[in-house]
């Protein structure tokens, strides 16, 4: 099932690397830079499944979710930090890694408002919640903000929602004075947000109900802190 998405270069590069462990024993592993390529195989597989069948085979869902989380993490932290975490150096790097993510995503100054959430996003949300989409002025239920925090910001990058809330002042009624996305950086934060909104929109269109949508979203874009385990080449029918 996965072979059509594996390049010849990837297959040829999966040579094991032998090394000596801290305890003095012998170990075997693979070049860490292969991880993004392996993850990309699963994401291409996911996209093809969603286009052709509307869902990812159950036995691959946790792997696809892990691959998506890995790729989003690599875009900002880097593979070396993730390898260090797996090998026991996370105490030294975890704080620095999170700071790098937030620095890349959170703008130091409030940015001008630009159209970010398309009408199609809200139209799908109205439909999934069983509500009539307004024909004239789109007046959204207040709880849509909580839903957007869950399906968009909590799944965008680690700790980004919390940092956006801290950076956005509130009015006397306790509501944020500005849209959260106005504190995202132009070079990383906004592009990643738009990309995520588009992907979530695809899942929305494929969902039969709101519960079905959340189930699929949890598999394709899990909240940070709710990740699966990524299988390597040679596993799961690759």
Tell me the mean pLDDT in the region 181-200: 93
User: How many domains does one find in the chain?
Assistant: 1
Residue 228 counted as domain residue: no
Which pLDDT score, from 0 to 100, does residue 98 have?
A: 77
Statement: residue 140 has pLDDT above 80:
yes
- pLDDT (tens digit per residue) in 94-133: 667 778 888 889 998 999 988 899 999 999 999 999 998 8
- Is 51 part of any domain? yes
Residue 234 located in a structural domain: no
The pLDDT tens digits for 76-85 are: 555 555 566 5
The per-residue pLDDT for 93 is 55
In the block, residue with structure tokens 């809200």: 122
Confidence of residue 230 (pLDDT cuts 50, 70, 90): very low
Average pLDDT over residues 174-183: 90
Backbone torsions φ then ψ of 106, nearest 5 degrees: -100, 125
Which pLDDT score is estimated for 236? 40
CB-based contacts of 180, cutoff 8 Å, min separation 6: 153, 161, 164, 165, 168
Q: Residues of the chain with pLDDT > 90: what percent?
A: 34
231 falls in which pLDDT band (50, 70, 90)? very low
Q: Is residue 56 in a domain?
A: yes
Let me know if residue 197 belongs to a domain. yes
User: What is the C-alpha to C-alpha distance for residues 94 and 137, in angstroms, rounded to an integer?
Assistant: 45
Does a structural domain hold residue 233?
no
Confirm whether 198 is domain-assigned.
yes
8 Å CB contact between 73 and 91: no
Answer whether residue 88 is part of any domain: yes
Judge whether residue 40 has pLDDT over 90: no
Residue numbers of the domain that contains 109: 3-220
Q: Which residue has the higher pLDDT, 18 or 233?
A: 18
């Amino acid at each position: 099932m996965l072979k059509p998405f594996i390049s010849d270069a990837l297959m040829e590069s999966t040579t094991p690397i032998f090394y000596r462990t801290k305890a003095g024993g012998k170990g075997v592993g693979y070049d860490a830079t292969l991880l993004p390529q392996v993850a990309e195989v699963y994401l291409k597989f996911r996209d093809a499944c969603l286009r052709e069948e509307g869902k990812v085979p159950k036995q691959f869902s946790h792997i696809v979710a892990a691959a998506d989380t890995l790729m989003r993490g690599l875009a900002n932290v880097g593979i070396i930090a993730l390898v260090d975490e797996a090998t026991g150096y996370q105490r030294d790097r975890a704080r620095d890694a999170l700071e790098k993510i937030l620095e890349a995503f959170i703008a130091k100054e409030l940015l001008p408002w630009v159209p970010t959430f398309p009408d199609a996003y809200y139209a799908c949300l109205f439909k999934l919640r069983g509500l009539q989409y307004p024909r004239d002025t789109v007046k959204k239920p207040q709880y849509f903000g909580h839903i957007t925090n869950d399906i968009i910001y909590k799944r965008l990058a680690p700790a980004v929602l919390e940092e956006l809330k801290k950076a956005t002042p509130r009015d006397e009624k306790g509501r944020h004075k500005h849209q959260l996305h106005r504190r995202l950086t132009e070079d990383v934060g906004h592009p990643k947000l738009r990309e995520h909104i588009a992907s979530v929109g695809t899942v929305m269109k494929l969902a039969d109900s709101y519960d079905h949508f959340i189930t699929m979203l949890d598999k394709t874009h899990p909240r940070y802190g709710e990740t699966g385990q990524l299988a390597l080449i040679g596993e799961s029918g690759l």
